[in-house]
Amino acid sequence: MPNETSITLDLSKLERVPRLLMEADLRPLQGSRFQPTGFADLGAARYTLPDGTEMLLVESAQSVANRMELVCWDEATADLIAPLRGLPYLRVNRRDGHMLTNSILEAHRINSPYLLKGQDKKIFNLLKEQVAGFETGPVDISRLARLVFEYDTGAVLHGVFLAQPDLAGGRLRLTRVLSGFIEAKNVRVAESGGVKNDRVDPSGDTKSGFGNVPFPRTEFTAEKITAYFNLDLSLLRGYGLPDNAIRLLVALALFKVRRFLSTGLRLRTACDLRVDGGLRVTQPEGFTVPSEHDLLQDCTKLIAACRVEGLCADPPVTQVTWVPPTKKVAKESAADEGLETAEEEE
């Protein structure tokens, strides 16, 4: 078990702090234009402040949460980056044993249909057994947080909504502890466009994919682009988790912020950003976020400590095999739950 002197992160400075607020100024890696996130039937999310300042949402809280999960993942090995291995998560395999997806990559995390809706009911039954007794009365959030920490630690930070009628009536929800978003100030439209050229038949049927197809493109410039991050320490402490679990979650959250800013800012082809001036803490005053390297070392030590204390699943990766549900079961499940969105994880 790590001792206080072996851990870089000093939580004593955060003991009475309700929120740890951080921000970083960003700018395009090259040039001055960038492409913001877009929404169906809305496009770019533009809004105006009371003083007339034109603002733009560059990246939503839902997207930043997913991107902060991705910075911990190694696509080449289809596993967590080496120093974080041992951190619990849920994995879905194809019938040949190769990975299909997992709770780190899925937008709904534990609530992914690939984890809970297949014919392999291992994870569903495990959860149902663990939450027995939550069907009526208040949900024991502390017990739920311990369960999620044990099997999918990252979901404690990023939130989860188990909208399954057969799991305590679909009432199991953990709000995000770590959130972030990116917005731009004093924006101006930068219109451009292009043409998809058909070198064989420029006048062909465009509806079928032939012919030359011109298209517009809307990008933006901005006086300032800022990434904001909020670590809800009050919410985290309210879960009543053991000390090393809390220390791990704080270290992991800060590592995700650092790693996202250092490696995760290529948001789209036409939105490649870089940090301009470093990460700064706006609350509390005087607290400094350790370096990415130090935080990763802390995470490695704290994962080991939590495993020794029996707080993590053993083995850490809980696996199921994806066998699609029958059509009847799938239809009934869709009717029971209705439509879900990523924002239901809030």
Over residues 171-226, the pLDDT tens digits come to 899 999 999 999 999 999 999 888 889 889 888 888 888 888 887 888 999 999 99
Query: Cβ–Cβ contacts within 10 Å for residue 327, how many?
Result: 8
> In this structure, is residue 342 part of a structural domain?
no
The DSSP symbol for 169 reads G
- For residue 189, the surrounding DSSP H or E stretch is strand 178-196
> In this structure, is residue 346 part of a structural domain?
no
Residue range 152-163, pLDDT digits in tens: 999 999 999 988
> In this structure, is residue 117 part of a structural domain?
yes
> In this structure, is residue 343 part of a structural domain?
no
The Cα angle at residue 292 between residues 31 and 79, in degrees rounded to 5: 95
> In this structure, is residue 344 part of a structural domain?
no
> In this structure, is residue 91 part of a structural domain?
yes
- Per-residue pLDDT at 334: 55
- Per-residue pLDDT at 328: 62
Residue range 25-66, pLDDT digits in tens: 999 999 999 999 988 788 899 999 999 999 999 999 999 999
- Of 68, 112, 121, 102, the closest CA to residue 292 belongs to 68
Residue range 172-181, pLDDT digits in tens: 999 999 999 9
- Per-residue pLDDT at 280: 97
- Per-residue pLDDT at 170: 87
- In the chain, the number of structural domains is 1
Q: Hey, what amino acid is at 275?
A: V
pTM: 0.89
Dihedral of the alpha carbons of 254, 73, 318, 86, in degrees to the nearest 10: -60
- Of 330, 299, 211, 315, the closest CA to residue 6 belongs to 299
Is the previous residue joined to 138 through a cis bond, with omega within 30 degrees of 0?
no
**Cβ atoms of residues 295 and 262 within 8 Å:** no
Domain encompassing residue 189: 4-337
**Cβ atoms of residues 217 and 192 within 8 Å:** yes
> In this structure, is residue 345 part of a structural domain?
no
